[in-house]
């Protein structure tokens, strides 16, 4: 299990809750000023998870204002980038002359070396925060600074891949061993670098090692978002990522699969899930097959039987009986 520290406001007397929260934030992260209209009985729940040099902190709390002032920066600057995935609520960031809003399923970014002020919305806010040392980010010097403060979506592409990684790691830390922490931190750092590079409109800022490690993940995310497209083919995937077809096949050989078999497996898994969904019980099987890129029902039935040992009809019937 990964090592984590947990704060629950209900474990602290009401009058002391906000002060305890403030001390935790200033001790665990870049020192900051905090204020809240709910300070008399502040409600918050937060975990701090260490992944090597990277810290991840999922939390939920009442409306707040965070301030990082020039004075606090002079007193202490840990030289970190901060990235926050907003899961619930909204926020607004002022970073020098920049001002940006951030809604649910977007990232906002910050820099511990720059004065800033962040307001969360009027409702409880749910986030997953990330802090990583600037020196650890595998981007060309100065490029990461240009991405700070820009809006970054968590709904598609690299942002969705990073959001998926963060929610998966933080939802169940018990599935990982303590020795996994540095490796997970490396993956997280590479994905943050890839998101920054994507935000800047180019991946040429990435180091060769980071590009090589993240490219298979980015291609898999690209495929998963287009499984419904019957024209999704290895040549179209290679062209979309500006790589040769042979290099694409080589990447998937390292994953232990061919490109076509990996696409088919993902499509079959989505179709299998639909067949067991009570809400889709009346949807024709051929429609479910077409939804996931199978243009010929007979091909779908044959592939499904090979993968799961039953025809799609029998599989749905068995799942329906089990649910009943």
- Judged against a pLDDT cut of 60, whether residue 81 lies above it is answered with yes
The CATH number given to 4-202 is 2.60.120.10
94 strand-pairing partners: 99, 117
pLDDT tens, 110-146? Answer: 899 999 998 888 888 999 999 999 988 887 667 888 8
Quick one: average pLDDT of 98-111?
87
The model's confidence at residue 207, banded by pLDDT at 50, 70 and 90, is low
Q: How far is residue 210's CA from residue 189's CA, in Å, rounded to a whole number? A: 9
By C-alpha distance, which of 82, 65, 182 is closest to 128? 82
Which CATH entry fits the domain spanning 226-324: 3.30.565.10, 1.10.10.60, 3.40.50.1110, 3.40.50.2300? Answer: 1.10.10.60
Q: How far is residue 216's CA from residue 312's CA, in Å, rounded to a whole number? A: 31
What pLDDT does 31 receive? 81
Q: Which of 41-45, 256-260, 286-290, 314-318 has the lowest mean pLDDT?
A: 256-260
What pLDDT does 206 receive? 65
Token duo for residue 98: 């920049």
More confident position, 21 or 271: 271
SS3 letters for 279-290?
HHCCCCHHHHHH
In the chain, where the domains are located: 4-202, 226-324
3-state secondary structure of 66: strand
pLDDT tens, 152-204? Answer: 999 888 888 899 899 989 988 888 888 899 989 988 998 998 898 888 876 55
Helices (H) and strands (E) in the chain, counts: 12, 12
By C-alpha distance, which of 260, 220, 269, 267 is closest to 240? 220
């Amino acid at each position: 299990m990964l090592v984590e520290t947990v704060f629950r406001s209900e474990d602290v007397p009401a009058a002391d809750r906000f002060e305890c929260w403030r001390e935790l934030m200033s001790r665990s992260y870049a020192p900051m000023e905090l204020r809240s209209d709910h300070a008399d009985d502040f409600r918050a729940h937060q975990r701090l998870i260490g992944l090597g040099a990277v810290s991840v902190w999922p939390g939920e709390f009442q409306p707040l204002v965070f301030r990082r002032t020039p004075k606090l920066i002079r007193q202490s600057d840990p030289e970190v980038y901060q990235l926050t995935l907003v899961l619930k609520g909204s926020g607004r960031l002022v970073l020098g002359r920049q001002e940006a809003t951030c809604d649910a399923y977007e990232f906002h970014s910050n820099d511990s070396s720059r004065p800033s002020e962040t307001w969360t919305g009027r409702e409880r806010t749910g986030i997953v925060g990330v802090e990583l040392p600037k020196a650890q980010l595998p981007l060309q010097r100065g490029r990461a600074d240009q991405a700070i403060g820009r809006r970054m979506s968590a709904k598609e592409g690299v942002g969705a891949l990073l959001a998926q990684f963060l929610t998966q790691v933080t939802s169940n830390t018990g599935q990982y061993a303590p020795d996994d922490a540095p490796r997970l931190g490396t993956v997280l750092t590479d994905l943050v670098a890839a998101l920054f590079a994507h935000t800047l409109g180019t991946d040429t800022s990435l180091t060769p090692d980071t590009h090589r490690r993240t490219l298979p993940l980015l291609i898999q995310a690209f495929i998963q978002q287009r499984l419904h497209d019957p024209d999704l083919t290895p040549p179209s995937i290679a062209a979309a990522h500006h790589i040769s077809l042979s290099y694409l096949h080589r990447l998937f050989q390292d994953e232990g699969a061919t490109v076509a078999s990996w696409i088919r497996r993902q499509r079959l898994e989505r179709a299998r899930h639909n067949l067991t969904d009570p809400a889709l019980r009346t949807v024709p099987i051929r429609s479910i097959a077409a939804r996931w890129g199978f243009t010929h029902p007979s091909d779908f039935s044959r592939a499904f039987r090979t993968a799961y040992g039953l025809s799609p009809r029998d599989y749905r019937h068995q799942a329906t009986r089990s649910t009943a």
